[in-house]
Amino acid sequence: MKKYSMKTLLCFSVIGFLLVTSCQKGKEDNTAAEKASITLKMNGIGLDDGSSTVAKASTSNTAATSSVQSFSVPFNDDLVVRATLSEVSNISATGLRASAKAATGVGAITAFNGDYTVRVYKQGNSTLLTTVNCTGGASNKFELDPGAYKFVVSSYGNPSATGADKDPLWQEINQTITSGSNVLDIVLKHKLTQVTVKFDAGSGRTISAIGGGTIEPNFANYTFDEVSGVVTFAGASSTKSLTFPTLASAQVWTSNPTMIAVGTTTVGKVRLDPVTINGTVGNVELTGLSLKQGVQYTLELNLGPKKLPTFNIGNEIWSGGNLERNPSTGEYSFGSEVNSAGDYWFPDRLLPKRLDGTNQNADGTNGGNGDPCALVLPAGTWRLPTEVEVQTLIDRTDPKQQAGKGQDNPNLVAIWNPARYVDYYNGTSATTRGMFFGVKTDEPVNFPVSERDKYLFFAYRGYYPNDNIGNVIGSEGAYLVTATAGGYKTLHMTGAAKDIGYGIGWRVASSTEAVQIRCVKK
């Protein structure tokens, strides 16, 4: 890009041999009254929505992406990180106006003082009329005949850098100009993707070190067409470093904004390793991130509560709590506490029953068809239990003297007792009643409260049989499973506190009955 730093900056190109335009600092030539005088006002760098034309490398794709994505991943053996990837809000479009009023919009506009180029075309015509090379910070002006024009503005955030850090910028403005004074408001847009990571360790915790951070994919080789705004990626992708400013120990660390050269993708990956929090070392690895080209993102990482255990019993691995969905984030999980209660679900529906009195039976607000367990992240790693698997759980906790049963029954004396026990979760009626599996029920039963998080527990949270009453909550349990013959069945449990767990069996599932779900590892 050529620069002209004379007191009076002359910016020109020749159209055939007739048209010459200039970009002046501090002086305007109005010798021809019929001319339109255009003042270029650089407002800065705004946000893009990733919708402009993109040329993709063979490894990219055009997958649709959500503006907010949520994930839960382990930090170490005890803690989890809850991650939210959000698009930064877009600004409104800008163009020519009769005043120099600054562009406004939803998103923030960051300052830009670099040199830039304006290419001018008649609307609907691809013939270049003139090129105006302008110096950052100057009062850049030029003249045109009145009419409808397309202005293509291009620049680089850091023209001396290489790769994604060069940061190609671009904007196209279509506007009719009139004789006299006009102001062309410019807000450049990033053509590559930018990600900023914010890690919040939580109250009472401090981050003392983040030893390494990477983000991918990032194409080292790409071309930027300053006329069309198209970025073309080539070659193989690699990782790019995420850097955090040198910080003292603090609850929150925020990375420098990181540019990556990548088209729209669903295979984005972020890794922080090692991370030291309160002297404990862990790592964060996020995969399957959906990213759009040209969009700016904030990745918020929050160190959450202790990771829920899983329960290996009945020849299956069971989730640490009942299935629930956060209505604010759309995240599916097993709650934040061991053996948590969860939501109520209609068979073959992906959204839970609403408990506001407006959702007596399944309707369109309960989502599409499918297995909601599969939506717990990482997606596809959990599923509904089958009828055979639940029957195996029952059989393996049945009395030992029955042939082929009792493999998970720890009873040594009362071998005729099933290894199932009904009680309040913490031994008092202030907590949920339900059935524990794998418990030693030799006489007398000795089941300390301190051990209860170690056992698979099906809470008696009742069900909603085509109503909004749920009048058996606290006294019965009902859990959805897939039936061998097709469709669904319900595992049904009853029993008073201190009962040995004989009250367990099957019921026919109903499309109008909302019950709970306990998932198994796929």
Model pLDDT for residues 315-353, shown as the tens digit of each residue? 999 999 999 998 988 889 998 789 989 999 999 999 999
Please tell me the distance from the alpha carbon of residue 72 to that of residue 329, in angstroms, as a whole number. Answer: 12
Could you tell me if 185 and 157 are in contact, meaning their C-beta atoms sit under 8 angstroms apart? no
- Domain-embedded: residue 379: yes
Domain extent for 71 = 35-51+67-90+110-303
Highest mean pLDDT: which of 106-115, 327-336, 399-408? 399-408
One domain for residues 254 and 132: yes
What integer pLDDT is reported at residue 90 of this predicted model? Answer: 54
One domain for residues 114 and 240: yes
For residue 291, which of 54, 35, 518 has the smallest C-alpha distance? Answer: 54
Q: ∠471-473-476 over CA atoms, to 5°?
A: 105
Please tell me the distance from the alpha carbon of residue 246 to that of residue 508, in angstroms, as a whole number. Answer: 61
One domain for residues 433 and 410: yes
pLDDT digits (tens, 9 = 90+) for 238-279: 999 999 998 899 999 999 999 999 999 999 999 999 999 999
One domain for residues 261 and 121: yes
Of the residues 285, 303, 321, which one is the last residue of a structural domain?
303
The pair of three-digit structure tokens given for residue 83, joined into one six-digit string = 């991650």
54 has pLDDT over 60 = no
The pair of three-digit structure tokens given for residue 480, joined into one six-digit string = 């959805």
Quick check: bond before 385 cis, omega within 30?
Answer: no
- Give the chain's largest Cα–Cα span: 110
Of the residues 280, 303, 326, which one is the last residue of a structural domain?
303
The pTM of this model reads: 0.62
Residue type present at position 397: T
What integer pLDDT is reported at residue 52 of this predicted model? Answer: 41
Residue 330's region, left for phi above 0, alpha for psi from -120 to 50, else beta, is left
Residue the block writes with tokens 């300052």:
111
Task: Tell me the β-bridge partners of 181.
Answer: 37
- Domain-embedded: residue 500: yes
Please tell me the distance from the alpha carbon of residue 85 to that of residue 292, in angstroms, as a whole number. Answer: 12
- Domain-embedded: residue 103: no
Please tell me the distance from the alpha carbon of residue 224 to that of residue 190, in angstroms, as a whole number. Answer: 11
